[in-house]
């Protein structure tokens, strides 16, 4: 009976999706409402029984996102004091400036990574570990991730010459290249917090190693992103715009820091040192992060100013970034279309950007994406069902619900 119901629901969803896909999605508000409704009803299409068993627990964590974010914000004044009050007494101007840049950048993020770390710890830790003190320490770990994320964003803003970030003028626009040193000050703050709260613990060295490991991989990803951009003047022949290269880029730029790092920190703080378990988790987290990045690239193609009323922030085409739409387009384009892409991609000219998008539309990037999304969701849910008993399936379903169902969702 469960099997029949599951197949029936699956068939209905596929038919509904096909109907909506046949409509011009840029002008169809009903389609966007449909996608928005999917956010909290993430698709688990293979087993109705599995869905019923887990959905209540997963939904509880999804619903608690805002509460956990509020708990983090309640801690922020103490974190800020810890990072500034007892430092640089002989350099009061530096102390004041450090406080200013931390306040300007760190607390204003979405906190998706930090909350996922806390959720992971709550699911991984034993009942006797879930003390008020340990939850507090987990939130301090989460703030370390937020500070490190702010560092990476500051560097990205400088590299991409972004004027507006987190709904405010970026630091380098206000103060120039001195923002580079500000980002380095911010980076040192992460290790100061770790040393203060974890130095006496057995996991201290491992936590520092984890932060260094994934910070390094992320920086390497940024380097690859620069080297594969036409904007750098290196790759106008598109030779490096392959799916293999794109996958390497995602893994280093997105997977390690945004998905694997939070889980690795939670796992180690929970006292779990199991390499096989970590490898299994890394494998599925890499797949989830791939879906996340492809969705992000797809939204950039559709221009969030059309969907969300934002303008001037989506410049992947102008900057010649190696993204999912251009990789797919090059795989399927005719010789003439490739000639046009080579001429227009990576050029900050409105007409040339328009020509690139016209080719995307002719190739039907949107339909290719929706097929990819459906297939990937189904595969991921299958992988989650087959996880070893050591890994909490709720965590990965939580990530799918909060990170990978945002097509059409208004933020």
pLDDT, tens digit, 9 for 90 and up, residues 139-188: 999 999 999 999 988 888 887 777 776 677 777 767 777 788 888 988 88
pTM above 0.85, yes or no: no
Calpha distance 187→56 (Å, rounded)? 38
Q: 276: helix, coil or strand?
A: helix
Token couple for 402: 């909060």
pLDDT category of residue 56 using cuts at 50, 70 and 90 = confident
Cα dihedral value 280, 286, 288, 289, nearest 10: 150
What's the length of the chain? 411
Token couple for 289: 């992060």
Closest of 214, 212, 206, 301 to residue 256, by C-alpha: 214
CA 404 to chain centre: 9
Q: 333: helix, coil or strand?
A: coil
Q: What pLDDT is recorded for position 170?
A: 75
Q: Which residue has the higher pLDDT, 348 or 149?
A: 149
Q: List, for residues 219-268, the tens digit of each pLDDT value.
A: 999 888 888 887 554 545 678 899 999 999 999 999 999 999 999 999 99
Q: 164: helix, coil or strand?
A: strand
Calpha distance 200→83 (Å, rounded)? 19
Q: Which of 15-29, 64-78, 359-373, 393-407 has the weakest average pLDDT?
A: 15-29
Calpha distance 370→202 (Å, rounded)? 46
pLDDT category of residue 28 using cuts at 50, 70 and 90 = very low
Q: Please report the sign of the dihedral spanned by the C-alpha atoms of residue 270, residue 273, residue 277, residue 281.
A: positive
User: Average pLDDT of the chain?
Assistant: 81
User: Are 300 and 310 spatial neighbours (Cβ–Cβ below 8 Å)?
Assistant: no
């Amino acid at each position: 009976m469960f099997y029949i119901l599951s197949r029936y629901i699956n068939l209905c969803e596929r038919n509904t999706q096909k109907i909506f896909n046949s409509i011009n999605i840029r002008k169809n508000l009903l389609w966007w409402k449909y996608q928005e409704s999917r956010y909290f009803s993430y698709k688990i299409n293979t087993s109705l029984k599995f869905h019923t068993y887990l959905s209540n627990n997963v939904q509880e964590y999804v619903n608690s996102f805002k509460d956990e974010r509020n708990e983090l914000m309640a801690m922020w004044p103490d974190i800020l004091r810890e990072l500034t009050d007892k430092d640089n007494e002989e350099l009061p101007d530096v102390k004041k400036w450090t406080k200013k840049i931390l306040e300007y950048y760190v607390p204003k993020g979405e906190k998706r990574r930090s909350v996922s770390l806390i959720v992971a710890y709550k699911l991984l830790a034993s009942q006797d570990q879930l003390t008020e003190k340990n939850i507090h320490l987990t939130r301090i770990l989460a703030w370390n991730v937020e500070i490190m994320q702010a560092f990476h964003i500051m560097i990205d803003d400088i590299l991409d010459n972004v004027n507006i970030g987190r709904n405010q003028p970026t630091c380098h626009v206000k103060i120039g290249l001195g923002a580079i040193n500000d980002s380095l000050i911010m980076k040192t703050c992460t290790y100061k917090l770790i040393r203060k709260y974890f130095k006496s613990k057995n996991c201290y060295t491992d936590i520092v190693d984890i932060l260094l490991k994934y910070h390094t991989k992320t920086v390497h990803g940024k380097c690859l992103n620069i080297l594969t951009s036409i904007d750098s003047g290196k790759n106008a022949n598109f030779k490096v715009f392959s799916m293999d290269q794109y996958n390497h880029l995602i893994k280093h730029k997105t997977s390690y820091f945004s998905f694997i790092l939070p889980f690795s920190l939670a796992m180690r703080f929970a006292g779990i040192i199991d390499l096989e378990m970590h490898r299994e988790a890394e494998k599925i987290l890499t797949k989830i992060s791939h879906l996340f990045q492809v969705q992000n690239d797809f939204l950039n193609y559709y221009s969030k100013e059309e969907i969300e009323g934002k303008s001037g922030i989506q410049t992947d085409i102008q900057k010649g970034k190696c993204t999912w739409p251009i990789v797919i387009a090059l795989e399927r384009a005719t010789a003439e279309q490739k000639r046009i892409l080579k001429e227009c991609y990576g050029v900050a000219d409105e007409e040339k950007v328009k020509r690139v998008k016209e080719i995307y539309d002719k190739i039907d990037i949107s339909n290719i994406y929706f097929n990819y999304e459906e297939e990937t969701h189904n595969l991921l849910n299958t992988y989650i069902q087959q996880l070893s008993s050591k890994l909490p399936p709720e965590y990965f379903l939580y990530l799918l619900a909060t990170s990978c169902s945002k097509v059409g969702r208004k933020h």
